[in-house]
Structures are given as C-alpha cells and as structure tokens.
Structure 1
Amino acid sequence: MIRFLHGADFHLDSAFGALPPGQAAARRRESRELALRLADYVKEHGIDLVLLAGDLFDSASPFRETGEQLAAALGQMRARVFISPGNHDWYGPGSPWETVDWPENVYVFKENRLTAVEVPERNLVIHGAAFSGPEQPESLLAGFTAPADGKCHIGLLHGELDGAEARYGPIRREEAAASGLCYLALGHVHKRTAPLTLGRTVCAWPGCPEGRGFDELGEKGVYEGTISDGGEVSLTF
C-alpha cells in the first residue's frame, strides 16, 4: 500500500494587496510556514509520496528566500516529492525551479508534455508535465493512455476539467477516463472538489490550503490518500 499526500496552489509570496504593507508582509511570512507544517505532517503520518500540483509560488519570480525555504522544508520530508509547475509558477529561465537547489527527494517536471518517472521500489510510475508559460491552451493529457503493465500509474497536472475557456491546461472527461491512471492529482481550482471517478481513474483537486481573501472561504487543506496493491484509491481531506 502507498500512502500519499496531494496538495496544490500554495501561492507563496502572494501580494495580499488588500492589506496594509506591514500586514501583507506578515501574511507572506506566515504562508511560508505552510511547507514546514506539511513536512511535520508527512513525518508524523508515514507518508510515502507527496504530489504537488502547481502554483506553489504566486509568480515565476518569487523572493529567492521563499524558494530556498520551500526546498528546505521539502527536504525534511521522508518521502518522494513530485512537483508539476502551473500557470503562476511556470517553468522557464530564471524561475525558482531552475535557480534553487532542490533536494534529492524532490523531482520537478520541466517539460511541456507528459513525461514519466518510475519509482521501482513502489511498483509506481508518476506522469507529470509543466506549464512553460502563463497559459497552456492545449490539454497535456490528450492522447495519453498508461500502459497495462501491472504498475500503478499516477498523473500529476495543473489544469481544469471542462473549463469555460481553454487557457489553463484544459482536460476533457473522456481524456481522464481513457488515461488508465489510478489517480490524477490536479491543481488550479482553489475550491476543494469531491473525488471524481472517470473510467477507472480517480481525479481530485485539493484546493488552496490557505485562503487569501474573502473569495476563498471554506475549509482548506490537502488530500491524504492510500493506493492499495490492487490500485484502489481512498482519499481523506
């Protein structure tokens, strides 16, 4: 059995423009502590795998110390960590994904197409991709089907399902259903969605773990899940 944590949309270094400068700076400092709290949770609950589905930074050029603090927190996790950059923190020259020294347990997807990383000790394959700019009009899941090789295949993407406009990694229901993935870990939608099963693939958005304004109210957090040896997924928010 694999025990995993799925988070997204930290938006570190958000401007908090509605607050006075001093309060906004304090909120930015507080938001950087999120990754440290997650690291403690991962260690205390025996998490094997951490899936982070993009927009961890509010922009592709956050303060360098913010990237370094995130890297240090992720390095404390006794787990493999996988990251798919999104539309706010897209992968490109000068982005923290290039300039920060990420620890050995962290893998950042860098290509604007699905690529795969095997975790042989878990009979697991992670498929992910990165935004290479602030918009991604094509589906990164289009035409993809995981091989039927007895391994558990997980997808990690930033995008929206049947979005109103094709700007941010649109994913079609039929693509998810045909993917053959055990789990599709998604980011971009800031409100948590209940798990959705399409074909044999369980899809979910955990939403943003901290609200940044009165338009982001409600319970916040991450998904913790397990995947059985038979590929069955169970999720708890």
Structure 2
Amino acid sequence: MPRFLHTADWQIGRQYSRFAEEDASILADARFTAIETLAALATEQAVDAVLVAGDVFDAQNLSDRTIHRTFQAMAGFTGPWLLLPGNHDAALAESVWTHAQRLSAVPDNVDLLLTPEVRVYQDLGFAVLPAPLTQRQTYNDLTEWFDRADTPEGLLRIGLAHGSVEGQLAEEIDSTNPIAADRAATARLDYLALGDWHGYKTIDARTRYSGTPEQERFKDNGAGQALIVDIERPGAEPQVQSHTTGQFQWIKHQDTLAVASDIERLMTELDALPPRSVVDLTLNGEVDLSGYQTLLHYLGGAEARHRSFQSHLSGLNLIPTEEDIAALHADGYVGEVIGELRERQEGQGEEADTARTALAILAGMLRENGTTSESEQVESAK
C-alpha cells in the first residue's frame, strides 16, 4: 500500500521585516528546521515518497547558501522527494531551480517536476501528474491535461498542483492560478496534493491542501502541519492523517478593557497561551493609571516568555481616576498638564500616542518622586 507525505509552501528565504532582527532571523531559520522535521517524519512513517506541492522557495533570487541549506535539510529521508514549482518559485527559463542545478545542489533522490509530463514510479506503485507553474500567475487551469493523461495500468494516479481551487477558497491567497474543483474526479486521480493555501483544507475525499509546515501568518487555519496519505489500491479512498511539524504558533489576540478586573482577566488569558509563540496583541478601551502601569509591567514579562510579542495600545485611553490624581498630588500646574494630556490622548495619530505615553511617564515619575516640589516634577517630565 503506497504511503505519501504531502507538504507544500515551505517558502524558504521568506523575510520577516515586521519583527525585531533577532526574532526575524529565528523565524526564518525555523523554515529550515521544518524541512528537517518533515524528513524525520517521512522516515518514521516509512513513506514511499514526499510530495511537495509548490513554493519550496519564497523567491527566485536566493543565495547559494540558502539553496544548499534547503536541499541538505532533506538528508534525513533518503526516499524520493518530488518538488513542484509554485508561483513564488515558478519554473522560468532562468529560476531558482536552474540556479540549484548549476550549483549541483540537488541530491539524486530529489526529483524536480519542472515540466507537465507523467512521471512513473513503477517499483513504488504510482505515477505522478504534475502541473508546474512556469510563470507567477496564469489564468488557465494547468491541471486540465490530467484528464487526457495515460498512466500504466495498476498504478495509483497522483496529481500535484499549486493554485486556487475554484469556488472553494473564501480568503485571499498568494496566487490566482485556477484549479477545477472536480479535477480529481475528471482526471481519475487517486489523490490530488495541492499547495498555495497556507492552511490545511479538505476540498473532497481525494483533494487536499496540506498547508505550510511552519506557520507564518496570524490565521487560525491549521497551518504548521503535514499530511500522511495512505492509499490501499487504485480507486480506494485515501486515508489521511495530519501531523504537527511547526515550532511556533502565531496568535492574534484582541481585547477591550473597560473595568479594573479586565486587566486581571486579560493577564490570565495571556498566561494560558503556549510559550514561545508569536503573539500580536491589540488592546482597546480605557484603563486608569494604576492599571496601565500594572499592564506595562506584565507585558514586559510576556515579551520574554514568547518568541515575539508585539502589543498595540493606541486604542487604549488612560483615564486617571480622582484617586489617581489625588495620590499624585497633581494640583496646580501639574494638574493642568494631566488634564491637557487626557484630552489629547483621545484624538488620533502620533499626537494621541505621545500624549498617552507622556501621561504614563508623568504618573510614574510623580509616584517615584512624590516628595519633590511641583516645579521640579513638571520640569523632569518635559
């Protein structure tokens, strides 16, 4: 019974410019580790071949080192690796694939499916029908030729394609390359392994997206997995199991704070997140000065617990209570400054952010220097 590992969208060479340099480097390196994980999984599960449904690379112009590292990361599995060009690494006349071939970086057990022609693996019991992209975007269904393709009797028919299944994907994806939703049926395929959708998605019993093996977006779509596919014989329905391969979970968390107890609740929810995640936190609402300082102290610790922790507080207004102001001894001119900052933070843009930050800094300094004179306090806050 042939067994396959289905994966796609490795996106090797992807840049993470929105993150701090240290985090960006580690997230990029995790994509190489994902290949090593896939190789170990393929060996552990004793698969007959690894099907990589496009976008092995994120760009055409990559360094020699990046290309060598990619193929070296596959060393843990000595069986066949079948690599299909996608929209990010299309099989152009001059491409990352021709670059890899000139470098002699491609191992003997790695098959580059650069042309739309049947590949027969007689000893392993299957034939592959690939639909490689030869340009970034096409408007014709490159899997159409599958319907007319002949394969040897008694072998599984495995399709490999990269693009958008028509009428199935509601969200925007990387490519406009269309694939007929019923291609597995019209082409008599036993399994159609797809790439381009970065999450795990079942189209029908014989057609699936595996998703990227290492999550790189804030979407809860089943990314960070690979599929083990068993097909007992031609015509039998595939048996598919998903296996976790990713190191980091990407989590987007949004919350609105309205009362003091919301901060405690928020901290409890954030404490429950898996450690070493990539977290994007957005807070709205309002909080008093004491609560804001508690929140900032907590967020400092959270940043240390996770691979990346980005917080967006521009929608959070600081509303000092009468007790806050009284405790700060904010009478006279200091009280007027606090009042003006309170008004300015309710606006939009950089001025509101600056006012919010200034209000928090002023409050902290007043608390720490409560015995100094009012004039000294104001001067130190400028």
Give the TM-score normalised by the residue count of structure 2. Answer: 0.56
- Aligned-partner Cα distance in 2 for 1:67–1:160: 27
Structure ranking higher on relative contact order (CA contacts 8 Å, 6+ apart): 1
Change (3 A) 1:23 1:130: same
1:85 maps to which residue? 85
1:36 maps to which residue? 36
Query: Which aligned pairs between 1:72-221 and structure 2 lie closer than 5 A?
Result: 72-100=72-100, 101-111=105-115, 114-145=116-147, 146-147=149-150, 149-162=153-166, 168-194=176-202, 196-197=204-205, 202-215=206-219, 218-221=222-225
Contact 2:11 2:57 in 1 (8 A): yes
Structure 1 regions of 5+ residues with no counterpart? Answer: none
- Aligned-partner Cα distance in 2 for 1:210–1:216: 13
Change (3 A) 1:174 1:46: closer
SS of the equivalent of 1:184 reads strand
Per mean C-alpha deviation after superposition, the further-off stretch among 10-19 and 88-97 is: 88-97
Q: Which amino acid aligns with 2:191?
A: Y
Larger radius of gyration: 2
Per mean C-alpha deviation after superposition, the further-off stretch among 66-75 and 220-229 is: 66-75
What is the root-mean-square deviation in Å for CA atoms of aligned residues? 2.1
Aligned counterpart for 2:228 among listed residues 218, 224, 229: 224
> What is the number of equivalent residue pairs in this alignment?
230
Contact 1:64 1:96 in 2 (8 A): no
TM-aligned CA deviation for residue 174 of structure 1: 3.7
TM-aligned CA deviation for residue 104 of structure 1: 1.0
1:49 and 2:65 matched: no
TM-aligned CA deviation for residue 222 of structure 1: 0.7
Percent identity of the aligned residues? 27
Structure 2 regions of 5+ residues with no counterpart? Answer: 243-382
Divergent runs of 4+, >6 A: none
Q: Which amino acid aligns with 1:14?
A: R
Q: Which amino acid aligns with 1:85?
A: P
Deviations 1:74-105 (A, max 9, x none): 24412211111100111224423112221111
Aligned counterpart for 1:234 among listed residues 239, 261, 265: 239
Change (3 A) 1:109 1:19: same
SS of the equivalent of 1:176 reads helix
TM-aligned CA deviation for residue 217 of structure 1: 5.8
Q: Which amino acid aligns with 1:188?
A: D
